[in-house]
Every structure is written in C-alpha cells, then in structure tokens.
Structure 1
Amino acid sequence: MKKSLLALVILLSVGMTAKSQVKIGFEVSFIEPQAHYAEVEMTISGLVKDYIDVKMPVWAPGSYLVREFSKSVEGFGATANGKTLKHEKVRKNAWRVHSGKANSVKIKYRVYAFEVSVRTSFIDDTHAFLSSTGIFMYPDGMLKQASTVKINPYKGWTKVSTGLEPVAGKQFTYTAADFDMLFDSPIEVGNQDVFEFTASGVKHEVAMYGGGNYDKEKLKVDMAKIVEQGTAIYGENPNKHYTFIVHNFSKGSGGLEHLNSTVLGASRNDYNTKEGYKGFLDLVAHEYYHLWNVKRMRPIALGPFDYENENYTPSLWIAEGFTAYYENKLMLRAGFLTEKEFVDQLVTAVSNVSNIPGAQVQSVTEASYDAWIKLYRPNENSNNTTVSYYAKGEVVGILMDIAIAQATKGAKSLDDVMKAMYLQNKAQKRGFTEAEFKAMVEKISGQDFTDFYAKYVNGTHLPEFAKYFGYAGIKVTNEQEGKSTPYLGVTSKKTEGRMFITAIMRNTSAWVDGLSVNDELISIDGTPIEAAVERMPAITGKKVGDVVVIKVARDGVLRDFKVTLNNYPGIKLVGEIDENATELQKKVRQAWM
C-alpha cells in the first residue's frame, strides 16, 4: 500500500511539473488583410504526450448562441523541429496533432474574418478587430494555462488596443493569465483614435475606429460620470485599467461586455444629435455596468466556461435584464436623464413588454434558459411564443426595485441587493444560484418574495403597473383604456413593389380568421394595398366588429378572407410624477431613483 501511494504521488508530481512547464505563445500577422484574413501561429512547448488536441471555442461569452467559429479556419498545419507533423480533425472544433513526444510544437492556421458585429472578428485593409474566441485555439485540458500574444500589425498600422496586460519591453506583446482572460479580451489593431480619462481611480482608454463627429473632451467628462455612478453602487471598481473599443459605422449598434474592456458599435455621425449622443451614453452605461453584473456577480453556470457547449442558466434576466434597467439608473444619476425622462422610459418599457403576446406564454426564467435556441434564432411566430429576457428582465427589475423600497420604507433598494450579491460572490469565488439571489432579496427587504417570483419570475403574470409605480408616487394610466380601435393584427413589408405579411399577432382578427405569414396582400374590400395595412383607411375607417374582405395571393393562388375586425388589445401607458405624493411615496421614489 505504501509503495502504491508513493508511486501515485510521484506520478501526480511528474504530471503537475510537466503541466507547469508548458508554455503557450501566439503570433498574429496580417498578410492579406484586404482579403479579410489573419495568420495565426501557435507555439506549445513543454509537451510530454504523443499527441495534443487543440480546440476553438464554439461561442463567445456574453452572446448566447453557438456560432461555430471553427468554420472560418483554414490551412491548419503543424511542425516540430522543422518537420511536418501528422494531424487530423477529431471533431468540429478540434484538431489532433501527433507530436511524437516532441517537446515543442508549432501550429499554423488562417482565420477568415468578415462579419461586422461586436462579437465576431472583422479584418480589412483599414483595421483588424480580433474577437478572441474566434481567433485563438486552446490545448485540451489547459484552459488555466497562461499564454502570450504578439501582434504584428499590417504595414502602416501603428496601434493595438486591448485589455490584455502588455509584456514589458516587447512592443505589441501581451500576456493572459489563463484562457478565460484571453477569450475575454478583444483586440483592435490599426490606426484608431485613442484617448484616455481617469475615473474612480482607474485609467480608461477609448479606441475609436471609423471616425465620427464625436467630441473627445466631452466624452472624457461624460463617460467618467457613468463610471463613477456605477462604482458608487458597488463601493469599488475592480479594475486597474479598462478599454473601450468603439466601432463607428454609418449605422452601428450593439455592445459586448468583457472583464476589463468592452466593444461598442456606434453611428459615426450621430454624436452631435441629442438622441444619438444619449444613445451612445446609454450603451456605455449598459456595458460598463456589466463590469460588476455578470462579469463578477454572475449566475453560477457562467464560469468556469465550457467553450464547446451551451452554458444553460435560468438567470439571464438578472445578468442582462437588470443591466438594461440599470443603464437608466446610471444615466439618471449621472445627469443625462431628468426624473420625468427616467419615468417615461421605464413606463414605456413596461408597456412594451405587456404588449408582447409571448410575455404571457414564456416566463423570464424560461426565456433565459432557452436563449441558445430562441432569442438569437427568431422566426415569424417568435413574438407570440417568446419574450426577450432583456426586456422582461428589465420590467422585473423595475418592479422588484420599487417593491424593496416600499418594503423598507425607502431605506433600501435593489442597489443594496446587487452590492451584497457582488460581495458574496467575491468572497465565495463562485457565481450565484437562483435560490441565493431570491434569499438575498428577502434578506435586504425583510419580505417574502415567493408570490412575486410566482407571478413575475417563474410565471407570466402581466405587470401590475399602477400598484408598483404607485408605491413611488407615480400615476400611470393606460391611454387605450375604453377606446375602440379596429385592429387587423399583422405586420407587413413591401418587397419589390408587393406587400407581404411578415408576422401575425396571436388571437387577433388575422390570426382567428385565417390569414398567414407570407400571404401577399392584394386588396381590402376592393381597395388595392399599397401601404402598411394597419394604417389604411380601409381599416382605420371601420368600427370594431365590422367585416372586411381581404384578398391575398397564397403560393400564387388568389383567395378571399372575410375578417371580423376586433379591438386593439394593447396598452399605451403614460406616467406622471405626483407632486402631492405622501411622505412614504417620496421616500420610496428617492430610494428607487
């Protein structure tokens, strides 16, 4: 027994020593950027096995869809000591290199990058944006291994922007403590306009690609305000430095959070308009708030990551929905929204979710869990069967925040829950479960939230908007109440001069009386259809209960449908701050805002 134990200890010791001696380095070059390619060289030394498997992630954390990044890889090959090594593909995203116990292996491959988004790589003759999960491979079983990345910019390119730590004395060379850090660090290469500001004791770099009518000095001040408001909620800013990579296009949008950086899509000529500038700051607030919510305080399933498979969690409504909500709070507190604008935006958010038929079919936890197969893969019926965990999660955040403030008479708010969960996860060094989050809400509020969860988290109950906003002294009314508005229930789109139905709302006139998506709309009561159907006099001029004859072409066959117009089922909420609110309502409102 003693000999066996000794042998096992020696074997484990040798294995650990061998693993600790492994070194991994990448070198990225751009020989044909105009053709949208990156050349990647990966060196792995300290090997002891006969073979090594290298893998590429199939998805990017923060964007919950399997994107199959390996589809863009070509020209894979490997050498050792100057000799070509045998390799084979062993699964869709994995290559096995037969190293023959060579100590060091050099792997080369090319990546085609031509998809404009914040989550995918794009390369042309003006710049390279490297979304790391679609560029770098990792040795199987070595996700915790450190690595270095050297960037060789294309001729004329002079700058590299990334959240990775630079290696002292080596230009454009960076290090990552493990592959989680590498995959969480996008890289911008080119001639981007770079400026800096310091906020909450942290240096922030902003790398602007694509030009634009932005005012750098104004952005430095205003972005700093958002940083400081986010830090104020949590009491600390966990980064030493932070990088904003901003892609300015004719029409740009979207953002993706990372541990100490973010990628933003913006419209280059909208910075000097009120709505455009506010929209950009909204995006900054959303992605920066992720620094705490989801990058540190996260659902337990979201890290350590499985980069080869879906990572399911019922808690994306907290990770994304609450972040969508908090971008409004940061904007209010930073002075970019008035209280009236804040109320209007949130009341509209509640109204919009209430008008989605799928919100009464899919709970916010189901929406979170099914993100992988539903949110990013919508079809013509999605509006009737699903709801975005962003949108519905935001509404749950609004209601929960006000409920906590009401329960504590204005002493506490959702801010206190988020900070407590952040500190708890930091101490535990792991993510939270749904049960733990609910328990913290109940601890902070001193109230049982079982009924709230049954209605709004695990159920599909419509928001009791008058009740919750009323706690904060906000009067909310439904402008549609008591109105009689004939409504067909279709959305349509003109294609090559012909009008087609693109979606039908559940239980509306069109749904009940047989119209279908892809029907070509020809006429209503003999009047040719030339514009959006719902706005045609043939609909707006009728009364609820009237019957219209709608002619369509379905698969080339003309058909007439008699459709009875029902009343518009939606709501349109308007909020008003009550100046005669009670002292309790004012305290709740203050805690909330």
Structure 2
Amino acid sequence: MALAAVADAAPAGLVYRVHADPLTHRFIVDLHIPATDAQEQILAMPVWVPGSYTRRDLARHIVEIHAADDAGALSLRKIDDHRWILHPRGMPLRVHYTVYALDLSVRTAYLDERLGFFNGPALFLRVHGHEQGEHRLELSGPDAWQVATAMPRVGGSDCSWGSFAAADHRRFCNHPVLMGALSFVHFAAAGLPHRLVLAGHEQANLPALGRDLATLCTWQQEFWGSSPFPEYHFLCMGSENGYGGLEHERSSALLCARDDLTEADRAGWERFLGLASHEYFHSWWVQAFHPAALRESVGEEAVLTRDLWVFEGITSYYDDLALRRSGLLSVEAYLEGLGRNITTLTMRPGQGLQNLWESSEDAWIKLYHPHPNSANFEVSYYNKGALLALCLDLLLRDRGENYSLDAFLQHLWHETGGEGAALPEGEFLPRLAAWAGPDVAATVDAWLAARGPLPLSERLASVGLELRLRRPSNPSDKGGKPAEPPLRCWLGAQWHSHAQGVELGWVATGGAAEKAGLCPGDRIVALDRCACSAETLQGRLDAMAPGLPRTLHYFRDGRLWETSLVPQEPPTDRAFLHWRAEVDPETRRRRARWLGLDPDQAADSPVSGG
C-alpha cells in the first residue's frame, strides 16, 4: 500500500543536509540559512523533547560546530548552555555541526551499523526568526539502508534517502526518522493507509502484527469518529529489553524487546500492543486536541502544567481498554492488568504525600528522575491518573447509558472541531461540569486534590467487580490475581542480587528495614549470622515468625555493620478483582458496555478471582 508523497519542489527556507555515519555514531549536519539583513542570528538546541518532561540538554551531544558564508568563516559564540550567536554579513549562512548519537531511546538519537533513529529536537538547531518558514531535510547515508518517516517527502522514491519538508519548525521537529535494514507491514484502518516499520526485529511475526494493529487502529478510529491524519506510521526499534514510546504528528516512535514481537510470549505481545495503543490514542488526545500550555513551547524552558494527568492519565486508561474492547485482550487479562495497576498505587506510600496536580507539576524534577525512594514520596500521573479516569468513567456510567468518559471525550473532540483545538490550562473540569453537571466536576476536583487513595472499591462495585487486597506471595509479587500462600515475614524493602550479598533498592517508609536503619544501596551479607543471597533471603526471613528480633549484617560504603531487624507481617496491598456473577440486570448491562461484551454473556465471563 503506497503512502502519500509530495511532488518534487524547489528548496525554500531552511535546509538541513543530514548524513548518517554509522561507524562513528554521528549525524553530520549542514544547515543552510537564507540571507538576512539582521545584525545578529541566534541558533538554539532544545533542552527538552515534547512529550518527555525533563531537561535532556541535547546540546551536549554536539561534537563540533562552526559557521561560514561565501566570504569565509564566521565567528560563532556560545551565549549559554544551548544557544549560539553569530553576526551575518548579508549573505546566505552555512552552519556545520555533528551530533553524537548512541542513546537507544525514542527521545533522542541513535546510530550504529544496523539502524539509525533521530527525534527532531535531538538533531535540528532552531534558527531564531525563521521558525514559521518552510524547513527542508535532505537525508543521506549507507547505500543499502532504507528510510521511514511521516514527514512529507519532496524528493526521492519511497523508503529511500531523499528530501522531506515541513511547513514550520514545530512540525519539522515532530516527525522522527528511522533508518537501516527495515521491515515493513502495511495495513488499512478505517480506509486509511498505515505502516509498521521495524528495525532490529529480525524474528517478528509480521502478518500477525499487521492483523492485530489493524484491529486496534480501526477500533480507535471508530471510537473518535474521524481521523486527524491521512496516513500513519509506527516506527519501531528493537533491543534486548527496551521499552518506550513517544507520540508524533501522523506517527509514533516505539522501542520494545525483540522477543515481544514473536507472539511466543503472549504477555510481551500484549505489552507491545498496549504501547502502540497508547501512542496511537495520543494522535487525537495530545497531537490534535492538545494542552495549550505545552503546544507553543519550543523546548527551551520547562513549562509547568497541572494537566498532564488529563492527557497522559486518560490515555493510559484507554490503552489497554482499547485492546479489551477490540477483542485483542481477554476479560481475564484486562482485569488482571487492572489489578496490577491498582497494586502499583496501593504499594506506594507516596500517595499520602503527593496529589495528582502536584505529580503533574513535579514531572520535570521527579517523574523522569526516579530513585529508590520515589515510591515513598511520589505518585505517577500515568498510573494514578489512569485509575482516576477509571473512577470518572464508572461514575459517569452510573448516570445512564448516555454518560461515560467515552461520550465526554467524543463530545470534546466534535464540539471543538478536534484537530488543532487547544485545551486551556485548568479547563478540563469546567467543561466536564458543563457537560455532566457541577457535582461530577466537584467530585473529580476532590479526587485530584486528595493525598490518598481513590474510591476504587466503590466505583468497581458499580460494574459488579469486587476489589480485593491480599498479602504478597513473593518479594516481586505485582498483584492482579489471587495467590497462595502469602509470605510469612516482610522486610519492607526490594532487593536484587549483588556479588557481595543482597543489595537493597526501595526501602519502604515505616517498614522493618527502615526501622533497622537500612537504606537503599546497603548490601546484606548475613541474617542470624548465616550467609544469604537474593534467592535465599526471603526463605530465611520466613523461617521464624514476624515480630522476633533477628541479627543482620550488611555493608555500607565498604564498612561492615550489624543491626537488629524485626521483620513485620506482610502488608495487605496486592490487589485483584473478583467477578460477581450474581448482579442485577442493570449492573450486568453497565459492565458489558464498559468492557465491550455481549450483555447476554457478560455474567459468566471467566475472570481472575471469579
């Protein structure tokens, strides 16, 4: 299936000539700037990437940079950590620079002998004063490589090196590029051409990927009722165990483990589909209908917003729900995953210290900078935001068949014309109040401000599900389903193997480890004077009843310490959902509509805990 192309056109505005040099892991860039009468010209590299709210200081990857015009070299002076200034002489300018690219992620740039990738902000200097003009990319590299991007092509054949163009700087930076020995899967959704492009996934099950992505994308197109794009590209890199995604205009950049695309591991396959679902949903709910506070940013300074939960939390709610409703995820698997997501929140003492608004505002300094104590002090606007969206959806469904979070999002999309519409900061709740009533908005407002749990038990009961909590059955238990038998003793910490014993990660507030004076990074070497490892520690803890003092030896900063440890009973914080078969007809219908089930069959669905 051919994707749309633009006829060859003469260069206009800025031209970025980029050459990929895999052996040196460098992208070599020659930037051509039209002549200007300005006395000075400022060039800037972003310090953060849209969709990823933390400073990345992308200028640090520039290896060399210099400027010239037809009369010779020009002085290029750095004026801060990401900007340069030069003084034009009324002639066209040429800026030559190279970018070191060895970060295998969806946010920056990577280049080696097998594949290359770049996100625009990691490669393209912003030329002050030229942002609104056309930006052109002329791309070259190894002869045998292919190229994939959603940026409109203006020269060269499909999948080849060539020329691409965007109307302005923002759009130019919103089309990532994947290159290398590529595999392609073409499929249609709602009559629109789609393309999955893979690099580094030699064993991927291409026909099954095309089948399942077509199902998923068709469901989302029908959910919204219209499309903000004429075509779409999933650009996916493979690695040993990577994971991540970032939404863009008409495309998304994805990174996943190679084994996730073989379908041999169903959990990995569903994890990839959930990632694709999340980024595809963002085409409507971020790329088209977007947060006003963030759209105009050029990535040169942090933009604080309390509304990240609106866009990321709601999208996180729908990513797996779209798989369930489209038939790609069983009811059992969906509810098990929901139980794990609830467990992620119930295990975090941080929900008592940070609310969702604060989580959004603190993204720049906290969410993207995790440390072993993060769970004690923070919540994620992805995780808790998704669970708040669940509560809101089920609250609305209590009001009748015409009410749901689906209906509200569709109302916003069609009322505002969808594509290009902005949601002003703090406007989500007033619009919810106007549509569903001030009582609903006031309830959500209270949930957002609360430093504590959400009313998940009450809301899930409205669709015939019972939220149950149990003790962990092993140290890495993530919840989601019943498990027996539970642990006998709880250390109050997470740990992993180390050459010198057992290294502690997260140490829970109020847990036995904290009370014994332990902290992240300590290495336990003996319990009750017997050596222990990551594999034997839990067994040694469980050998005696909780509440009995134990002697523990550990290393910190190269010194051996001894402390008295009093193991506790494990907390009751692993969540799973029990399916209630005996419910009234209205509850059964509401549950069926929510999960995308036939109401006549919804009572007997085999689910976790049922």
Q: TM-score, normalised by structure 2?
A: 0.88
Match for residue 141 of structure 1 among 122, 129, 132: 129
Do the aligned partners of 1:246 and 1:265 also contact (CA within 8 Å) in 2?
Answer: yes
1:66 Cα deviation (Å)?
Answer: 0.9
Shift of 1:90: 1.4
Partners in 2 of 1:558 and 1:322 — Cα distance? Answer: 48
Does the 8 Å CA contact 2:546/2:568 hold for their aligned counterparts? yes
Shift of 1:485: 4.2
Partner of 1:292: 284
The secondary structure found in structure 1 opposite 2:136 is strand
Aligned residue in 2 for 1:318: 310
- Report the equivalent of 1:258: 248
- The structure 1 residue matched to 2:270, chosen from 254, 268, 278, is 278
| 8 Å contact kept, 2:503–2:522 | yes
Q: Which of 321, 335, 355 is 1:329 aligned to?
A: 321
Deviations along 1:532-590, one digit per CA (max 9) or x if unpaired, are 576133x2133332222222233344333223333222422221222221122123223
Q: In structure 2, do the counterparts of structure 1 residues 435 and 88 end up closer, same or farther at CA, with 3 Å as the change threshold?
A: closer
Tell me the equivalent position of 1:11: none
Question: Of residues 456, 460, 481 in structure 2, which corresponds to 1:465?
Answer: 456
CA contact (8 A) 2:307 2:426 kept: no
Aligned mates of 2:435, 2:537 — CA distance in 1: 48
Answer yes or no: is 1:441 the counterpart of 2:444: no
What TM-score results when the alignment is normalised by the length of structure 1?
0.90
Identify the residue that residue 72 of structure 2 maps to in structure 1: 83
Shift in Å at residue 239 of structure 1?
0.4
1:387-536 → structure 2 map (5 Å cutoff): 387-406=379-398, 408-426=399-417, 429-433=420-424, 435-446=426-437, 448-449=439-440, 452-480=443-471, 485-532=488-535, 535-536=538-539
Give 1:212's aligned amino acid: E
Whole-angstrom distance in 2 between the partners of 1:110 and 1:559: 50
Which 10-residue stretch deviates more, 34-43 or 430-439?
Answer: 430-439
Helix, strand or coil for the counterpart of 1:380?
coil
C-alpha deviation, 1:513, in angstroms: 3.2
Q: Give me the whole-angstrom Cα distance separating, in 2, the residues matched to 1:410 and 1:427.
A: 24
Paired position in structure 2 for 1:161:
148
Counterparts of 1:217 and 1:472 in 2: how far apart (Å)?
Answer: 36
Contact 2:305 2:425 in 1 (8 A): no
**Which residue number in structure 2 is paired with residue 108 of structure 1?**
96
Of all paired residues, the percent bearing the same amino acid is: 24
Residues 334-384 of structure 1 show CA distances to partners (whole Å, capped at 9, x for unaligned) of: 211122322222132112211111122111221111111111112222110
SS of 1:562 mapped into structure 2: strand
1:279 maps to amino acid: R
Q: Determine the structure 1 residue equivalent to 2:117.
A: 129
Q: Which amino acid aligns with 2:57?
A: E
SS at match of 1:282: helix
* Inter-partner Cα distance in structure 2 for 1:143 and 1:533: 60
Question: Equivalent residue for 1:63?
Answer: 52
Cα distance between partner residues in 1 of 2:418 and 2:277: 26
SS of the residue aligned with 2:276? helix
CA distances 1:312-355 after superposition (whole Å, capped 9, x unpaired): 21111122222121111110122111223222221321122111
Amino acid at match of 1:569: P
Report whether the alignment pairs 1:372 with 2:364. Answer: yes
Which whole-Å deviations, capped at 9, do the CAs of 1:467-500 have from their partners, x for residues lacking one? 1110011122223499894312122233223322
| Code of the aligned partner of 2:94 | K
C-alpha displacement at 1:524, in angstroms? 1.9
State the match for 2:108 in structure 1.
120
Structure 1 position 71, deviation (Å): 0.7
| Aligned ranges 1:4-23 → 2 under 5 Å | 23=13
Q: Helix, strand or coil: the match of 2:236?
A: strand
| CA distance in 2: counterparts of 1:98 and 1:460, whole angstroms | 53
Cα 1:445–1:543 change in 2 (3 A) is farther
Q: Which stretch shifts more, 576-585 or 443-452?
A: 443-452
For the 8 Å contact 1:26–1:42, the answer to whether it is kept is yes
Preserved CA contact (<8 Å) 1:421 1:437: no
- Native 8 Å contact 1:132 1:186 kept in 2: yes
Cα contact 1:490–1:534 (8 A) shared by 2: no
Number of aligned positions between the proteins: 568
- Rounded Cα–Cα distance in structure 1 between residues aligned with 2:202 and 2:556: 46
Counterparts of 1:307 and 1:106, CA distance in 2 = 23
Provide structure 1 residue ranges, at least 5 long, that are not aligned to the other structure.
Answer: 1-20
Which letter maps to 1:126? R
Matched, 1:553 2:542: no
TM-superposition CA deviations, 1:143-176 (whole Å, max 9, x none): 222211111122322x221110111568611111
* Deviations 1:7-35, CA, capped at 9 Å, x for gaps: xxxxxxxxxxxxxx9821111113x3211
Q: How has the CA–CA distance of structure 1 residues 555 and 43 changed in structure 2, closer, same or farther, with 3 Å as cutoff?
A: closer
Deviations 1:42-72 (A, max 9, x none): 1111411122111111111111111111111
* Alpha-carbon distance in structure 2 between the residues aligned to 1:543 and 1:464: 34
Question: Aligned equivalents of 1:169 and 1:500: distance in 2?
Answer: 54
Matched residues in 2 for 1:33 and 1:169: separation? 21
Q: Are 2:215 and 1:212 equivalent residues in the alignment?
A: no
Question: What is the CA-CA distance between 1:307 and the residue it aligns to?
Answer: 1.4
Say whether 1:190 aligns with 2:198: no
Contact 1:285/1:331 (CA < 8 Å) preserved in 2? yes
Cα deviation, 1:203-245, whole Å, max 9, x if unaligned, reads 1122111133223222222111111111122111110111111
Alignment correspondent of 1:249:
239
Conserved? CA contact 1:455–1:461, under 8 Å: no
Gaps of 5+ in 2: 1-10, 473-484, 596-610
Distance 1:214 1:554 in 2: 45
Select between 301-310 and 424-433 the one with higher mean Cα deviation. Answer: 424-433
1:384 and 2:384 matched: no
Amino acid at match of 1:519: D
Query: Per-residue deviation at 1:427?
Result: 6.4
Deviation digits for residues 97-155 of structure 1, max 9, x if unmatched?
211222x1111111111111111111122332121111111111332222111111223
SS in 2 for 1:188: strand
- Residue 570 of structure 2: aligned partner: 568
Secondary structure (helix, strand or coil) at the match of 2:97 reads strand
Are 1:41 and 2:46 an aligned pair?
no
Q: Retained in 2: the 8 A contact 1:78–1:84?
A: yes
Change (3 A) 1:434 1:29: closer
CA deviation after TM superposition for structure 1 residue 285, in Å: 0.8
Contact 2:313 2:381 in 1 (8 A): yes
Cα distance in 2 for partners of 1:334, 1:175 equals: 36
Q: CA offsets per residue over residues 238-261 of structure 1, 9 Å max, x none?
A: 101111111122323211111111
